[in-house]
Amino acid sequence: MADAPYLVALALMEQEGRRALPLTGRSLPDEAVAAEPTTIAHALALELLLRLWQRSDEGALQRACGVESLLLVELPMDALSEALPTLKAAWLNSGDVEAFQHGLRAICGRAWTISVAKFEPVTLTPWPA
pLDDT digits (tens, 9 = 90+) for 61-95: 999 999 999 999 999 999 998 999 999 999 999 99
- Within a domain: 99: yes
Domain span at 39: 6-126
- Within a domain: 29: yes
Confidence of residue 34 (pLDDT cuts 50, 70, 90): low
Beta bridge partners of 117: none
- Within a domain: 1: no
* Number of domains, the chain: 1
Question: Is residue 9 within 8 Å of residue 68, measured between CB atoms?
Answer: no
The b-or-e profile of 82-107 (16+ CB within 10 A means b, else e) is ebbeebbeebeeeeebeebbebbeeb
**Confidence (pTM):** 0.90
Quick check: 33 pLDDT over 60? yes
